Structure 1
């Protein structure tokens, strides 16, 4: 559970991904290998994981589903976190 969820506010996807990956003791490279293995798609890179975790990009629905599977997290939680990230992004740009 994230610090934000303990306070009742959802965390943005970038924080959630990094927190869950680190809690499992995985490097970004480890996560890439697991995504490649489960999805059969080797198009995601460690650099892309880094962009997701820094909030530079938000993974699309395809990768969010695989992230849900690999990180053993509900897809609903990832969708909510993606919505929080999009909302924050709009507030920064506005």
Structure 2
């Protein structure tokens, strides 16, 4: 989707989550379910969305599945977020 091409990953996650009508709690719960990793909570989703942290490849894989966002798009968005952070 052209509008999301240069979007940092936090905004992309928020956008895709809202498109699916999920709260941060619901997204975290779905990620726990698909990953089998109970270490994730709403706080981490919030940090991703605010740009405080960038989810690594492990969580990107699960985000792709839950949010139906192509893996390449998430990787590009993560690179964008890291570039923005370096400029600050």
Q: TM-score per shorter chain, which class? A: over 0.9
Q: Which has the higher contact order (CA 8 A, sep 6+)?
A: 2
Query: Aligned in 2, Cα 1:78/1:9: closer, same or farther, shift over 3 Å?
Result: closer
TM-score (norm. length: structure 1): 0.89
Please report the TM-score for the alignment, with normalisation by the length of structure 2. Answer: 0.95
Hey, which bits of structure 1, 4+ residues long, moved more than 6 A?
none
| Residue 21 (str. 1) matches residue 25 (str. 2) | no
1:65-84 deviations in whole A, cap 9, x for unaligned? 00001111110000000000
- RMSD, matched Cα: 1.2
Which of these two proteins has the greater Rg computed from alpha carbons?
1
Instruction: Give ranges in structure 2 of 5+ residues lacking alignment.
Output: none
**Contact kept in structure 1, 2:5 and 2:77, CA below 8 Å:** no
2:51 aligned residue (42, 55, 59): 55
